[in-house]
Amino acid sequence: MSLIEKIPFLSDEEVINLLANARRLKDAGDDKQRAAATDLIPALEGAAAERRALRMAAAQAKRAARRPRPKAAA
């Protein structure tokens, strides 16, 4: 199983950490590491963005649930 195939099974923290490492290796790694990082970064960025959007939506729903409902006019 390739690293890209493992992304859905990684935690949010692991995805962010792996993305940071891939970005670092893209700039400072050897040729093999740069090539691997270049292939991996788009998939990691997509996963990180998707997870961030899900967290934000969940937080928004939680805030909306806590808001007091307007009272109906009698």
Per-residue model confidence as pLDDT tens digits over 15-53: 999 999 999 999 999 999 999 999 999 999 999 999 999
Confidence bin at 71 (pLDDT 50/70/90): confident
Q: Is residue 71 part of a domain?
A: no
Q: Is residue 74 part of a domain?
A: no
Q: pTM for the whole thing?
A: 0.78
- Domains in the chain: how many in total? 1
Q: Is residue 60 part of a domain?
A: yes
Report, as an integer, the average pLDDT of 1-24: 95
Sheet strands (E) in 1-74: none
Residue numbers of the domain that contains 26: 11-66
Nearest to 52 by CA among 5, 16, 9: 16
Q: Is residue 17 part of a domain?
A: yes
pLDDT of 69 above 90: no
pLDDT of 65 above 90: no
